[in-house]
A and B are shown apart, each in its own frame.
Chain A
């Protein structure tokens, strides 16, 4: 039987390993799409918020798992929601792709702010920019619900910890803590993907944006099909 501190470390390490060995391949395209959609703006703040949102959802799910001590009943309860999130993600990536290339008149989703001249306009521009950055937190929370094998595995550990806890409250706290540790472990890999997909340093971006838009539309359709079949 591992001590509580050891379990936190083991699950954090698991998150770190899974991040580079799994998430880059499975979730990397979503993160890259979000980076590309920023169109040269700094990726750090939006992606940190996205990750905090994702980890918030993991923490909440871990809390529920720890309180109930049952992995299968909780996942069965949220299965249709996860399916919906997967389809939504596909639609979102398609819209982002089309908007990024200017093929639909929506501007850049989440990065839609103009370059104003006057003081009032500049202030509004900054507010708009802040608001669009802030949307990455709820987006991260929502996408934290995406079905994912390693997240399920970590949730099993949270449910087991809940089963062995002396009370539901204690189980909930441990489960939540475990999932927060797991989520933190996955952050470095996804931030790396976000940074690599950032084109802020690139002068001739138009061609890349057009090519990326097509890839994003294909990727979005792939997610939708997977979501419908899931």
Chain B
């Protein structure tokens, strides 16, 4: 069966779209993301330019579509300006979901946020803690649906 040029062009476009979808939307599945934090068990720790920071999310277990409290504690150097957390999924654009942290004690910052549920069924989320003038730390973890 001889296909004309337009059919070939259509098939080429279809392949291109399929390839684009597979390499962008499913990038998480093709490259497994390392989960470095069990938020259900307790706080998770990381280092930012000489300071040790820990992230605690409550209540536990950490569930999607629930009101959550994010608490960040600094040991060592303290931030000059308030830090904030961006919530997102590794390899998937979920829109801007920022948790604003406010001082809640000595070297302690707290804020409220929600981790949303993805209909694809993926549960792995990433909290990117940004401390202006100091740097960023990433926490990758699974949530409960």
Chain A partners chain B = yes
Residue positions of A touching B, CB distance < 8 A: 10-11, 14-15, 17-18, 21-22, 24-26, 28, 71-72, 75-76, 86, 146-150, 152-154, 156-157, 182, 193, 196, 199, 201-204, 207-208, 226, 229-230
Q: Which residues of B contact A204 (CB under 8 A)?
A: 3-4, 6-7
Bin chain B's interface residue count. 20 to 34
Q: Give the residue of A21, A152, A196, A226 whose beta carbon is less than 8 angstroms from that of B116.
A: A152
Q: Give the residue of A86, A149, A196, A207 whose beta carbon is less than 8 angstroms from that of B17.
A: A196
Please name 18 further chain A to chain B contacts, defined as beta carbons within 8 Å, in addition to the given A18-B94, A72-B67, A202-B6, sorted by A numbering. Answer: A14-B96, A21-B92, A22-B94, A25-B26, A26-B25, A71-B114, A72-B65, A72-B114, A146-B119, A148-B119, A149-B92, A153-B116, A154-B95, A182-B95, A193-B17, A204-B3, A204-B4, A229-B121
Are B119 and A156 closer than 8 Å at their CB atoms?
no
Chain A residue at minimal CB-CB distance from B25 = A25
How far apart are the CA atoms of A10 and B98 in the complex, in Å? 12
Q: Contacts A72-B67, A147-B119, A156-B114 known; A18 to B95 CB distance under 8 Å? A: yes
B117 in the interface (beta carbon within 8 A): yes
How far apart are the CA atoms of A226 and B122 in the complex, in Å? 12
Interface residues of B in 108-122 (CB under 8 A from A): 113-114, 116-121
Per-position binary interface string of chain B over residues 1-42, scored 1 when its CB falls under 8 Å from any chain A CB and 0 otherwise = 001101100100100010011001110000000000000000
